[in-house]
Amino acid sequence: MTPETLLEVRNLTKHFPLKSPGWGKPAPLLRAVEDVSFSINKGDTFGLVGESGSGKSTVARLILRAYELTSGTVNFRRADGSVTDISRLDDRALRPIRAEMQMIFQDPYSSLNPRMTLRDLIGEPMLVHGHRKAEIDDRVAELLGLVGLRPEFAGRYPHAFSGGQRQRIGIARALALNPSFIAADEAVSALDVSVAAQNINLLQDLQERFGITYLFITHDLGMVEHISNKLAVMYLGRIVEMGDTATLLSRPRHPYTEALLRAVPQPDPRGRAARRRPPLAGEVPSAVTPPSGCAFHPRCPYATPDCARVLPELRLLGGVQVRCHRAEDLALEGVHG
């Protein structure tokens, strides 16, 4: 790990065993995450994009140890500069580290306990970490101010707030213990556009002020282009392309990245006829019985017989890492700036 690296994930894999089909038969495995490696530098926003079932949320939950890893390592740089592999630590050893890594969830309605006041919700992480009551009250007021809510709201319950405000309550709660790393899982996806914009600006302000590093998980390519400087695209549990956001989106090297970019409806009606391409056919295959070779080959317009046989390695090409046999010979279409 270089000194700038905050988080380094190596060969992260998660297989969920499903119900066994009958006596003596082995339980099938859902291969949610397969051999995912990346690192995030301090102060960066690392975007992770993919469609449902790509494994992007599972990656965040594995990093935060909400799920046990099947294999792999997660190295995290602590506030004191030391590096710890947190993938095998037990709950007790994890507790101080958890203060430094937090998560923001998509659904602001189900991620806050409706029976707790904002003071209790936002103060809970501090209580767990042994802070004193007076200290907590002051900090809750400060946090509410930071996320643009009035400190007088501390005694209210979540139902009194709109979706965008609840999301801010979740952000305040995540900030309570001064984390250096926050994983935001579809943090603005459920919000109306004008409210999403307010919350995205808030996350960027907080990053500037406190130097927080984000793992930003989303299916929204416009949003990820706006907020992240590094980007990884996932398909069926694997990273298919990774690199600097602007480089990757302007000159994609993987056919799936190209297909995703083409699928995004653009707020530009004049260009619509010219932009129109036949949409990517088919659906994301099952992660229980993934296709052989490159998992994207059944849907890929550029696939050759080789693609069904051999799994491509992630390799460096033109400044990005790409997992495609044909990356050199394809001239794929990116976004035009």
Chain positions contacting other proteins, by CB under 8 A: 51-52, 162-165, 192-198, 200-201, 204, 219, 221-223, 225-227, 246, 249, 259-270, 272, 278-281, 283-284, 335-337
| Minimum distance from residue 224 beta carbon to other proteins (Å) | 9
Q: Which of 86/104 has CB closer to other proteins?
A: 104
Q: Which of 75/204 has CB closer to other proteins?
A: 204
d(CA 199, CA 164): 7
Nearest CA among 279, 277, 328 for reference residue 304: 328
Q: Which of 172/221 has CB closer to other proteins?
A: 221
* DSSP-derived secondary structure for 164-184: HHHHHHHHHHHHTT--SEEEE
Nearest CA among 272, 231, 268, 269 for reference residue 249: 231
| Minimum distance from residue 335 beta carbon to other proteins (Å) | 4
Q: Which of 134/281 has CB closer to other proteins?
A: 281
Ramachandran bin of 162, using left for φ above 0, alpha for ψ from -120 to 50, beta for the remaining angles: beta
Hey, how many other C-beta atoms are within 10 angstroms of the C-beta on 105? 19
d(CA 15, CA 38): 19
Q: Which of 162/292 has CB closer to other proteins?
A: 162
| Minimum distance from residue 131 beta carbon to other proteins (Å) | 32
At 276 the three-state DSSP class reads: coil
Q: Which of 183/196 has CB closer to other proteins?
A: 196
| Minimum distance from residue 285 beta carbon to other proteins (Å) | 11
Tokens of 258: 């190209």
Q: Which of 74/104 has CB closer to other proteins?
A: 104
| Minimum distance from residue 104 beta carbon to other proteins (Å) | 18
CA distances from 79 to 82, 93, 209 (A): 8, 15, 16
DSSP strand pairing (238-244 vs 230-235):
antiparallel
Tokens of 256: 């799936």
| Minimum distance from residue 207 beta carbon to other proteins (Å) | 12
Task: Say which amino acid occupies 155.
Answer: G
Tokens of 81: 């500069």
Q: Which of 260/314 has CB closer to other proteins?
A: 260
| Minimum distance from residue 121 beta carbon to other proteins (Å) | 20
Hey, how many other C-beta atoms are within 10 angstroms of the C-beta on 11? 12
| Minimum distance from residue 194 beta carbon to other proteins (Å) | 4
Q: Which residues contact 126 (CB under 8 A, 6 or more apart)?
A: 135, 136, 139, 176, 177
Find the length of the chain.
337
